[in-house]
Structure 1
Amino acid sequence: MNKQILLALLFVNICCTKQIIYAQEKNNEIAAQESIQLETDKIFDKLVQIRRDFHENPELAGKEKRTQELIKKYLLDLGLQVENNIYGYGVIGILEGTKKGKKIGWRADMDALPNDFPDKSDFKSKIKGVQHGCGHDIHMAIALGIAEVLAKNKKTLHGTVYFIFQPEEETFKGAKGIIENKIFVKYKLDEIYGLHITALPAGQIMVKPNEMFAYQKEIEIEFKNRLSGEEVKELTSKIRNSLVRSNNGSKPWEIQSIIDSKIGLMNPNTIFKDYLIVDENFRTYSKNNVFYLNTELYETDAARLKNIIPTVEQVIKDNNYAPQMLSIEYIKENPTVLNHPNLTAISINTLEDMYGKGFVTIDYGQVPYFNDDFAYFQQKIPGVYFLLGGSNFEKGIVAMNHAPNFEVDEECIRTGVKAFSSLLFQRGG
């Protein structure tokens, strides 16, 4: 047999081997996806009970001790390595697949809100003045569910998944504390993902590249002398009029409209893009013979942020208050959630390859008033942050965060666990 024939046979053998390996891996992926859906259904009722336990026993930022203990036990029972010397009452569960792959992070926030709003659920908070009114109880239940589902598929899992249960999100401290921790830095994550419950229909997944929320700033103006009530009203009205911007007279400050099919986030002509909102009621106070005016504002366009303070200064000058003004500055400049464009596109394609075209709804706007310190993770690691619908309007359930009678259709837990277990499984390879 001559050399050319031997080389040809060798080439054919290599190609056949590659095809067999590819087919085997494909079959393993299909089997894993079927297992993910099956296991999600099996543990769904248990996750609902876990969520209700979190809801009944909420803990404020920096006080998430009981929550930490429950999460640690759950992860240890799954066989995960657990790290809790990370920041505050944070917990990280580490799941190592049996195959080589990426290091993927999944973040869930833990803390509750300081409020006592009406709550229609049968499992109300047992702690007066503290509630899970932002859905972090749902976030934790979903993260624990993903951890359990993937742990049951460990034999075919590529890479390592880090389940980051983060404290102190509401105070915008927890994420920053974790990413500055030496233990976390050593993990060197390749990608990170997270979600937030919102008022969209239950189970609807929404995402977009780049900014998910408006840029949130708080501006403070200092004056030598106290302004009268009438002076404050007139000056702040002129400041607002010089700044506020919206499309064709729309009202992007009416946040309930984010779910409107005609003007909401899912419509390319949404009113929630290209706007600048300024709170109507400026806060006033005096300290050490200095008079202060404060307000929060929400801008969608990063390039316009540099114009805000000069514009306010000009209004103050035009109204003859310049001699009285001591200073003007931002006193809060939290970063905004900024989704990695390429990773967002890959995530959408991955989910729709598994669950069908249209499974993910495209977000065309930026949500005002809300933000998330997940942004700090994204400054260090390519990441994607999803919105997950929690409302069921037929049942009168509206998952409007930080609002009275905030409720969540718990069926969204099933969607969250199923979809994002699948995504993490695929991204690990």
Structure 2
Amino acid sequence: MVLDIFTKNESELEQKLIDVRRNLHQEPELSNEEVKTTLKIRKWLEEADIDILDLPLKTGVIGEISGNVAGPTIAIRADIDALPIHEQADIPFPSTVPGVMHACGHDFHTAVILGAAYLLKKRQENLKGTVRVLFQPAEETGHGAKAILASKGLENVEAIFGLHNDPLSELGVLGTKEGVLTAGVDRFEIEVKGKGSHAAKPEEGIDPIIIAAEIISRLQTIVSRETKSSESVVISVTQIHGGNTWNVIPESVYLEGTVRTFKEEIRKTIPAKIERVLNGVAASYGGEARLIWHPGPPSVQNDKEWTLFAKRIAVQNGYKVVEVEPTAGGEDFAFYQQKIRGAFVNIGVAGEYGLHHPKYYLNEEAILPASYYFADLAEQALVELYGQSLSAKYIPQV
């Protein structure tokens, strides 16, 4: 039975979206494992008679709503994956999957963009082109956007918009800025090799723990002594593993961590600088160290014109628009922006705890206004593109 969105009043639509969000919250799925989530989203789109693109995707889905007038294509995006965190929030609909929860609010994002899709379907006849509603997998791994791009699901898209919730901002607040919004995010592993020995006779071995400790300390000189004070680089070692008993110096130590940068030209220099530190420190002790580099998403770079446009539509929708500072957090929406102009915004959800916290929670009153905002943003973006001189090709010939 097709969902009768054309007769639904605002309170009914809001409850529908809250139910969607809670359903997803109770059955979270990790990156690239969002099989049930994908099936649910397809069902909710089909209920509203929204077309679904046939794409080679294991998880994730793209719906499409086209007006009666041939015109440009734009996209609005939500991410759908959860995190490997055990939920501690005291709510009546907690995660039923041990060790997995929507601690980043992707269930909120999905409900918002689904709501926008319902509203756009209701306005379909007036759309000056096509809106693709994108529900992307695997944002938390930093590579889900690449899978969407590889599927060709965003071909011919001329503008793209995305969101993230901000639990530390109040309801009715929308934050964004032109230019750099998030950091480029890379992951590294370091394998340190020495020579094992009895702890009582360290002179007979090469202690990888000493080497690793100095490497950790020396890595920070890349930030403090090799980067301009006006630039931002974060190097964090987040794991260290070595040894298995109290009286033996181990053969090796393993380190893992992350690098956050805002400028691509700086980002490209970091691996070589880390390798120089590793080789110098390890060699000074007679050991070895190897860097394994895992490049992640670049920084989100909001297009100037579309950011101003997104702000204007936000004000029209009653949001208080604030200029935000760039964050060292990552967001693979940046991969889309390398190919498609667009803007990313933060929506206040008045939570008590920050993102990725086991007690993370949000105010569901933020869902419906955000759905209206993204529906209006998409509809008006089509009007904007349709009216541009380069879009004269969309005007029907008579």
| Shorter-chain TM-score tier | 0.7 to 0.9
Q: Does 1:197 align with 2:197?
A: no
Q: Match of 1:114, SS?
A: coil
Q: Does 1:344 align with 2:307?
A: yes
Q: Does 1:236 align with 2:216?
A: yes
- Report the alpha carbon displacement of residue 308 of structure 1 after superposing the two structures with TM: 3.0
Tell me what 1:105 maps to.
Answer: 75
1:298-326 per-position Cα deviation (integer Å, ceiling 9, x unaligned): 22333323443454455457657356445
CA distance in 2, matches of 1:419, 1:68: 24
Greater fraction of residues in helix = 1
- Report the alpha carbon displacement of residue 402 of structure 1 after superposing the two structures with TM: 0.8
Tell me what 1:265 maps to.
Answer: none
Give the 5 Å matches for 1:106-125. 106-125=76-95
Q: 1:221 to 1:50 in 2, by over 3 A?
A: closer
- Report the alpha carbon displacement of residue 85 of structure 1 after superposing the two structures with TM: 3.2
Q: Match of 2:94, SS?
A: coil
Q: 1:80 to 1:274 in 2, by over 3 A?
A: same
1:283-310 per-position Cα deviation (integer Å, ceiling 9, x unaligned): 3469xx7654433122233332344345
Q: Does 1:359 align with 2:320?
A: yes
- Report the alpha carbon displacement of residue 202 of structure 1 after superposing the two structures with TM: 2.6
CA distance in 2, matches of 1:63, 1:333: 19
Q: Tell me, which stretches of 5 or more residues in structure 1 are unaligned?
A: 1-35, 250-272, 392-396
Q: Does 1:420 align with 2:374?
A: yes
Q: Tell me, which stretches of 5 or more residues in structure 2 are unaligned?
A: 1-5, 196-206, 244-250, 384-398
CA distance in 1, matches of 2:220, 2:375: 45
Tell me what 2:392 maps to.
Answer: none
1:244–1:277: 8 Å Cα contact kept in structure 2?
A: no
CA distance in 1, matches of 2:282, 2:235: 22
1:399–1:407: 8 Å Cα contact kept in structure 2?
A: yes
CA distance in 1, matches of 2:219, 2:30: 35
Tell me what 1:225 maps to.
Answer: 194
Tell me what 2:362 maps to.
Answer: 408
Q: 1:342 to 1:324 in 2, by over 3 A?
A: farther
CA distance in 1, matches of 2:166, 2:119: 24
Give the 5 Å matches for 1:54-69. 54-69=24-39
Q: 1:285 to 1:244 in 2, by over 3 A?
A: farther
Tell me what 2:3 maps to.
Answer: none
- Report the alpha carbon displacement of residue 107 of structure 1 after superposing the two structures with TM: 1.0
Q: 1:314 to 1:75 in 2, by over 3 A?
A: closer
Structure 2 counterpart of 1:387, one-letter code: N
- Report the alpha carbon displacement of residue 220 of structure 1 after superposing the two structures with TM: 3.9
CA distance in 2, matches of 1:85, 1:60: 21
2:257 paired residue among 295, 299, 311: 295
CA distance in 2, matches of 1:338, 1:237: 32
Structure 1 counterpart of 2:194, one-letter code: N
CA distance in 1, matches of 2:59, 2:322: 34
Q: Does 1:331 align with 2:294?
A: yes
Q: 1:121 to 1:274 in 2, by over 3 A?
A: farther
- Report the alpha carbon displacement of residue 238 of structure 1 after superposing the two structures with TM: 2.6
Q: 1:127 to 1:416 in 2, by over 3 A?
A: same
Identity of aligned residues (%): 28
Q: 1:63 to 1:86 in 2, by over 3 A?
A: same
TM-score, scaled relative to structure 2: 0.80
1:147 paired residue among 93, 117, 138: 117
Q: Does 1:214 align with 2:176?
A: no
What is the Cα-based RMSD across aligned positions, in Å?
3.1
- Report the alpha carbon displacement of residue 104 of structure 1 after superposing the two structures with TM: 0.9
